[in-house]
């Protein structure tokens, strides 16, 4: 199975035992890339190793990051998981749909499945960094699921999807870092239009980010938009100097 390209990213995990339990789940399902972002839990706590029973190799190779941007910058596809109702709640995929989506794009692309802290989940800002949002269907009266159980649901669906023959998509999608650099460049370029009352830059950039996520751009597509931003800034500078 081609699962080396799938990373499990845990943001601000609060309980040491959950880190170990997630490592064990990953070992069960053939996943190996565990990443922690700004962990609240002490990663040296004995409970991490107790709950990781038999998966010490996952913990040994675990990567620790200060920010989510850092943790996903080498990923082409980022998927945020959320149990709560959020501002951006369009096109929410189930774990089964996520697994099919991932499987079609392996091993050409690098994927990150992002999970938030146990008590609050991912913030809206963290969710905005992902191309895809996913939610596990649960009883409305009690939607909260243990962190390791959530990881198990997604891991199981990915393994199951990998046993089915699917048509692979060979396109390599631009990395998360490439897309963030483009967003910053375009943000700079469209700053010049903020004097126009009818132009809402924040709304425009939010919509543009969602379009980019849906398009799954290659690095060549990203370069095209960089060129567009460069031309806007260049011509604005030219006309400004003439005045």
Q: Is-contact 229 189, C-beta < 8 A?
A: yes
pLDDT tens-digit profile of 109-143?
999 999 999 999 999 999 989 999 999 998 877 77
Please give the pLDDT value at position 240.
Answer: 67
CB of 10 closer than 8 Å to CB of 148: no
Residue 211 CB partners (closer than 8 Å, separation 6+): none
Beta strands in 38-167 (DSSP E): 63-65, 77-81, 92-93, 111-115, 132-134
Token representation of residue 143? 């939607």
Residue of 111, 157, 122 lying closest to 136 (CA atoms):
157
pLDDT tens figures, 183-195: 889 888 888 777 7
In the chain, where the domains are located: 6-162, 176-242
The arrangement of secondary structure in 6-162, i.e. its CATH architecture, is 3-Layer(aba) Sandwich (3.40)
pLDDT at 66: 96
Distance CA 239, CA 243 (A): 6
* 243 residues of the chain, pLDDT tens digit each: 568 999 999 999 999 999 999 999 999 999 999 999 999 999 999 999 999 999 999 999 999 999 999 999 999 999 999 876 655 555 789 999 999 999 988 888 999 999 999 999 999 999 989 999 999 998 877 777 899 999 999 999 999 998 876 556 667 888 888 888 998 898 888 887 777 677 788 888 888 888 887 788 888 888 888 888 888 888 777 776 665
């Amino acid at each position: 199975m081609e699962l080396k390209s799938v990373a499990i990213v845990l943001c601000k995990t609060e309980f040491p035992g959950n880190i170990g339990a997630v490592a064990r789940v990953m070992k069960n399902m053939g996943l190996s890339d565990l990443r922690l972002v700004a962990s609240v839990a002490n990663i040296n706590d004995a409970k991490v190793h107790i709950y990781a029973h038999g998966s010490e190799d996952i913990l040994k190779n675990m990567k620790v990051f200060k920010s989510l941007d850092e943790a996903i910058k080498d990923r082409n596809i980022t998927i945020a998981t959320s149990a709560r109702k959020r501002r951006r709640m369009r096109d929410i995929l189930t774990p089964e749909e996520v697994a099919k989506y991932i499987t079609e794009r392996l091993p050409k692309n690098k994927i990150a499945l992002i999970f938030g802290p146990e008590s609050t989940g991912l913030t809206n800002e963290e969710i905005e960094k992902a191309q895809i949002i996913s939610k596990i269907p649960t009883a409305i009266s009690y939607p909260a699921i243990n962190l390791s159980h959530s990881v198990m649901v997604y891991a199981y669906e990915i393994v199951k999807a990998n046993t089915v023959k699917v048509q692979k998509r060979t396109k390599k999608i631009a990395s998360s870092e490439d897309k963030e650099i483009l967003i910053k460049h375009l943000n700079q370029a469209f700053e010049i239009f903020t004097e126009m009352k009818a132009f809402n830059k924040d709304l425009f950039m939010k919509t543009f980010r969602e379009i980019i996520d849906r398009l799954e751009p290659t690095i060549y597509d990203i370069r095209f938009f960089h060129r567009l931003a460069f031309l806007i800034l260049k011509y604005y500078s030219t006309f400004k100097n003439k005045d």
